[in-house]
Amino acid sequence: MGETLSKAIQWSSDGDKLEDSPLNNDILTEILIYTEDFEDRYPKEARIRFREPLQWETTLEAADFTSDIYDTRGEAAVSLESDDKGSPLLQLSPPDITVHSFYHLSNLLQLSKDKKMKEIRACLEVNREPIKKIFGPISPTIHEDKLFNILHQLDEKLLSIAVRPITGEGRLSPAAVNTEVDLLKRFCGTGEKRVLKSVSYTSDYVFSNGCRSPPWRQMDGEICSLIIETCDTEPTLFITCSTSGVFFDERIHGEGGVNYYMRKSELYKDIITLLKNMSPHFAAAANEQDSAIQDVPSAKKIVHVETVDVGETGQTLKSNGHEEKNVPEKVRQQLARNKPGGRKKKLEPSLKWKNLGLTSSYDEAEEKSRRSRESKKILENGTKSPVSELKKKANFSGSSLPGSQSSQKIKSPGGAGDFSESSSEDEEDEEQPERRAEIPTDLPPEYWQIQKLVKYLKGANQTATVIVLCALRDFNLVQETCQLAIRDVGGLEVLINLLDTDDIRCKIGSLKILKEISCNSQIRQTIADLGGLQTMVSILDSPDKELKGLAAETIANVAKFRRARRTVRQHGGIKRLVELLDCVPNGVSMSAEQERDVEVARCGALALWSCSKSTRNKESIRRAGGIPLLARLLKSSQKNMLIPVVGTLQECASEKSYRIAIQTEGMIEDLVKNLSCDNQELQMHCASAIFKCAEDKHTRDLVRQYEGLKPLVMLLNEAENKQLLAATTGAIWKCAISLENVAKFQEYKALEILVGLLKDQPEEVLVNVVGALGECSQISDNLATIRKSGGIQPLVSLLTGTNQALLGNVTKAVGACATDPENMAIIDRLDGVRLLWSLLKNPNPEVQASAAWAICPCIENTKDAGEMVRSFVGGLELIVNLLKSQNKDVLASVCAAIAKIAKDVENLAVITDHGVVPMLANLTNTGDDKLRRYLAEAIACCCKWGSNCASFGEAGAVAPLVHYLRSKDPSVHQATARALFELSKDPNNCITMHENGVVKLLLIMIGSTDEILQEAAASCVANIRRLALANDKAKYG
């Protein structure tokens, strides 16, 4: 954002306005989309408060703030949310608006509707350096701040937009080469008028990226090699096309050797230019065709041609890719200018889609503008006999379409002229470019039939419309060719327009088609682009149940991507969909009407399932009262109803409110019941819902009470279905947090099966399996079980993985296993401790901490632990240095490990040399009880070497330790008393302790029931007392 805003964006001459240029618009649109989605994508970061607020003059009014997170008072509006000082995070006092966080920025834009662009423009015009406002004068680095990282990514995206026109056009792509070769092939022939003899690839194999060169040469940017026979050059030309241009191969003379692939010629920008330079015959012939271009009436032709020195074109170009940035225009211009006479209108160059013969003068102009965005080759042979006939059909005008939404597409004649549209706005459509490369030839017969039907659809009354719709449905709509054909001939516009009519049969017929074809992601996006979702949402109010159901089902298909889900929400779709759920699912003898209600509810659940993938939709579903309705539907006995219902629930269970509701509305019982059904998808969703909910203790108990643990263990045998297995193991993991459940799992022999799953499973399964084993090892019997069923070895070998979540769980499990001496022997033999130790170097603090925790029992249970630890080169220094971590859990775990390490005097000496004493002392001011406990233990253990005891006192560790005795955590008391006892061996420390009132506190501790605490406290008091006596003795003799 920062970089691009300062460098790429174009400011008007007086410098305070953003120019209205296409580039700016692209950048602003990107920022807009990004900001609008920000809250959905990064809910946590969106809440971060800006250092300084963004402030600008808005056109919004208080009335625009319809969301319930805002409070409007007269003309002003404020957010209900405010910072810790009580000032609101968004404040509107017209015309000024102040915003403090991305959360409100997102909301604001969503509320702005059609004024969005204006707002973002106004905001950026006055906030020239938003990054500084957001982060203050000193920007954090990428690594330490997630928000900055996110904005940095946006910045890079924007930069790539800014440079797109430069790079996009300058380099050859496989598609471009392909098109050019196809074109050249048309020039080949045997007659006298042929331009070339032959063109062929050296390799027929096409890699998935479109290249034909072998991979090692693709590394250098090569795309493919060609053999071209011209009419006048000898011998045959061997040509290589690479991303930076086209050149001759050394192979011309077959002189292999070291420089085999070194290019022989200079770089040409494309094959045609190269041929023109090499073959006078070709140049002459090509120029003949160029002249034809003059015949095409087009005033706009030159508009897009930038001022490029024509003298250079047609000559060789230098290898620098950037110099070629205007290649398409250059070609055009060059072709336009080279016009020797003798025009024979044998070949008519045109855009490549012209060979479909479906362009009219109208969309030619449109294609011109399109062309400027595309770096595609443009010559094409357009005179084929069937073309003229087709042209006529393409000119059929659909302008009498009622209720036309007048999108760009509707305007253009409903022919194949629509082919290349719609990619530029599609933000999520990755498949588009690939597909486009395939279009030109071989259209299937269905294409023409569909085109004809869509043409009829545009001019038919209800009666004929229904017939045509039914005929359309008879095509195989699952097939992508048919789906795309409907879109490409403008069928989607017509179908969506039909949804706005009054005729129920037309709507039903149209929805039946839309429902099928919306399985295709490109169709989904086009439907959303054309505003289809809004119409479908309003159809949900219809009294006709079949219609409602179909609309909901289609929404379910379309709302598979974020923007669509947001559209559904913003147009009130969630509430309506939730209303559809209202039915009695399990009536004893249901009337036809009730059955229809159930079917509608099923469709509604399907749609909600799709929508529930967005966080805000989950919230909307809850607010619309969806949870009790879902709970009621969960009682259904039909699988096709249960799957979307449980699917929605498990999706929503990521939210706390749902987890509570699932528990309190009694849904656990039904979820458990369905674990034993015979449908794996349903079982998976149930297990997944339990997985997410079982973080809560009561839920875990409920699962056990409803006897859900056994079916879960049974499901472990379905090892083929990995998704199911992942959900099941996840549920087992979370359920195993309760000891009672672990006992059950023991009874069902779950551990043996789990250990068997440690091998050859995908990571998402492994994470859960290992997590479950870790939880089960709370019961020591299970440690032996894991060993006996051969679990130690696979666990230890998982320590070498890279998946952070998995590592976290593996270290935990290995640590738990290490508490058993027999297990430890195996771990030691497998060199597990060394592996754990190297995980201390992992960048993820959670992994560091759990590795350090796991190291503790390892040291404790290994014979010759001291020797082992010393054998890790640099190991001690590594662990001491982790005391510099910012993470509390890492610190606590490292302190615990240091306490164990320090039991070996030699090692204690080494860590003392590495400065462990001042580092521990530095940490003493912490308020975290867990850290306090292990810190005190570490201090107690480290006192036992040399002058460490005194050094702690000098480093100021004593006074804070005394205060630990006031902590509420008894485990802190014991460790602290032991540390104080060790420290009290130094007289100065005793004085400090006494000054800090330690005696009174210790006296309380002596009254404790914990004997170790008693003894440590008493011994410490004794030491202090002895010092006092000695002092008295010295004074008074």
Residue 469 or 694: the one with the smaller Cβ distance to another protein is 469
From the list 235, 257, 311, 543, which residue makes contact with another protein (rule: CB under 8 A)? 543
Shortest gap between Cβ of 504 and another protein (angstroms)?
7
* Cβ closest to another protein, residue 314 vs residue 490: 490
Is 230 strand, coil or helix? strand
With CB under 8 A as the contact rule, which of the stretches 114-122, 232-240, 495-503, 900-908 interacts with another protein?
495-503
Q: Binding of another protein at residue 460 (CB under 8 A)?
A: yes
Does 459 help bind another protein (rule: CB under 8 A)? yes
Q: Rounded to the nearest whole angstrom, what is the least distance from the CB of residue 571 to another protein in the complex?
A: 24
Nearest to 495 by CA among 414, 396, 387: 414
Packed helices 626-633 and 667-675: angle between N→C axes, nearest 10 degrees = 40
Task: Give Cα 315 distance to the centre of its chain.
Answer: 46
884 lies in the binding site for another protein (CB under 8 A): no
How far apart (Å, rounded) are the C-alpha atoms in residues 848 and 883?
A: 11
Residue 336 found at the interface with another protein (CB under 8 A): no
Q: Using the rule CB under 8 A, is 228 a contact of another protein?
A: no
| Closest residue by Cα to residue 491 from 568, 398, 553 | 398
Under the binding rule (CB under 8 A), the answer on residue 703 touching another protein is: no
Contacting residue, 141, 307, 461, 1009, with another protein by CB under 8 A: 461
Report how far residue 721's alpha carbon sits from residue 719's, in angstroms, rounded to the nearest whole number: 6
From 3-11, 501-509, 780-788, 826-834, give the range in contact with another protein by CB under 8 A: 501-509
Contact segment (CB under 8 A) with another protein among 280-288, 506-514, 653-661, 1007-1015 equals 506-514
Which residue in the set 13, 361, 385, 400 belongs to the binding site for another protein (CB under 8 A)?
A: 400
| Closest C-alpha among 623, 707, 692 to residue 656 | 692
Q: Quick one: which segment of 115-123, 415-423, 459-467, 924-932 binds another protein (CB under 8 A)?
A: 459-467
Looking at beta carbons only, is 457 or 645 nearer to another protein? Answer: 457
The Cα–Cα gap between 552 and 641 comes to: 14
Distances (CA, A) of 1000 to 940, 994, 1004, 1016: 21, 9, 7, 14
Q: Which two tokens stand for residue 607?
A: 């749609």
Q: CA-CA distances (angstroms) from residue 509 to 398, 484, 497, 595, 602? A: 20, 19, 12, 21, 20
User: Does residue 1018 interact with another protein by CB under 8 A?
Assistant: no
Distance linking the first and last C-alpha atoms of the chain: 79
Closest distance to another protein from the beta carbon of 464 (Å): 4
Piece in contact with another protein (CB under 8 A), picked from 94-102, 176-184, 460-468, 554-562: 460-468
User: How far apart are CB 366 and another protein at their closest, in Å?
Assistant: 22
Which residue stretch of 173-181, 498-506, 649-657, 660-668 sits at the interface with another protein (rule: CB under 8 A)?
Answer: 498-506
Please tell me whether residue 474 binds another protein under the rule CB under 8 A.
yes
Residue 391 lies near another protein (rule: CB under 8 A): no
Question: Quick check: 57 and 98 in contact, CB under 8 A?
Answer: no
CB of 467 to another protein, least distance (A): 5
Considering only 61, 229, 544, 763, the residue that binds another protein (CB under 8 A) is 544
Residue whose C-alpha is closest to residue 486's, from 498, 501, 503, 473: 473
Count of other CB atoms within 10 angstroms of residue 88: 18
66 binds another protein (CB under 8 A): no
H or E segment to which residue 275 belongs: helix 271-278
* Residue choice 147, 506, 578, 583 for contact with another protein (CB under 8 A): 506
Contacts to another protein from residues 772-831, by CB under 8 A: none
Tell whether residue 503 is a contact of another protein (CB under 8 A). yes
Omega of the bond leading into 960 within 30 degrees of 0 (cis): no
The residue length of the chain stands at 1037
Contact between 477 and another protein (CB under 8 A)?
no
User: Residue 300, interface with another protein (CB under 8 A)?
Assistant: no
User: Is the Cβ of residue 261 or residue 456 nearer to another protein in the bound state?
Assistant: 456
Q: Per rule CB under 8 A, is residue 969 in the interface with another protein?
A: no
- Compare residues 392 and 1025 and give the one whose CB is closer to another protein: 392
Rounded to an integer, what distance in angstroms lies between the CA atom of residue 550 and that of residue 515?
Answer: 7
Of 87-95, 248-256, 398-406, 921-929: span binding another protein (CB under 8 A): 398-406
The residue type of 946 is G
140 binds another protein (CB under 8 A): no
Q: Give least dist CB 456 to another protein, A.
A: 6
- Nearer of residues 40 and 544 to another protein, judged by Cβ: 544
Q: From the list 117, 471, 999, 1018, which residue makes contact with another protein (rule: CB under 8 A)?
A: 471
Q: Which is nearer to another protein, 308 or 390 (CB)?
A: 390
What is the rounded CA–CA span in Å between residue 88 and residue 104? 11
- Burial (CB count within 10 angstroms: exposed 0-12, middle 13-18, buried 19+), residue 223: buried
Binding footprint of another protein, residue count (CB under 8 A): 35
Of residues 456, 706, 748, 872, which one binds another protein by CB under 8 A? Answer: 456
Q: Per rule CB under 8 A, is residue 387 in the interface with another protein?
A: no
Contact status, residue 537 vs residue 620, Cβ threshold 8 Å: no
Could you tell me the two tokens for 87? 């000032």
Cα dihedral 967, 969, 975, 981 in deg (nearest 10): 40
Q: Which of 48, 99, 486, 508 binds another protein (CB under 8 A)?
A: 508
**How many CB atoms lie under 10 A from the CB of residue 557?**
21
The answer to the question of residue 502 lying near another protein (CB under 8 A) is yes
Interaction of residue 448 with another protein, rule CB under 8 A:
no
Q: Which is nearer to another protein, 550 or 631 (CB)?
A: 550
Q: What is the DSSP string of 300-318?
A: GGGTT-----GGGTTS---
Does position 340 interact with another protein (CB under 8 A)? The reply is no
Is residue 501 involved in binding another protein (CB under 8 A)? Answer: yes
Regarding 15 and contact with another protein (CB under 8 A), the answer is no
Residue of 554, 508, 561 lying closest to 532 (CA atoms): 554
How near is the Cβ of 466 to another protein at its closest, in Å?
Answer: 5
Cβ neighbours of 126 (radius 10 Å)? 11
Q: Across-strand partners of 224?
A: 241
Q: Note whether 239 and 216 are within 8 A (CB).
A: no
- Residues 994 and 996: their CA atoms lie apart, in Å, by 5
Using CA atoms, how far apart are residues 348 and 710, in angstroms rounded to an integer? Answer: 75
Stretch in the footprint of another protein (CB under 8 A) among 23-31, 327-335, 400-408, 890-898: 400-408
Would you say 204 or 502 has its CB closer to another protein?
A: 502
Binding to another protein by residue 446, rule CB under 8 A? no
Residues 261 and 285: beta-carbon distance below 8 Å = no
What does DSSP say about strands 245-248 and 90-93: parallel, antiparallel, or unpaired? unpaired
User: x-or-dash pattern for another protein, window 354-383, by CB under 8 A?
Assistant: ------------------------------
Indicate if the alpha-carbon torsion angle 926, 929, 930, 933 is positive or negative.
Answer: positive
Give least dist CB 544 to another protein, A.
7
Dist CA 90 CA 81 (whole Å)? 8
Compute the least distance from the CB of residue 494 to another protein, in Å: 11
787-790 long-range Cβ contacts below 8 angstroms, 24+ apart: 787/817, 787/820, 787/822, 787/823, 787/826, 789/751, 789/752, 789/755, 789/756, 790/755
Question: Taking contact as CB under 8 A, which single stretch among the options 21-29, 394-402, 427-435, 659-667 is the one that binds another protein?
Answer: 394-402
Question: Is residue 541 near another protein by the rule CB under 8 A?
Answer: no
Binding site for another protein (CB under 8 A): 392, 395-396, 400-403, 452-453, 456, 459-471, 473-474, 501-506, 508-509, 543-544
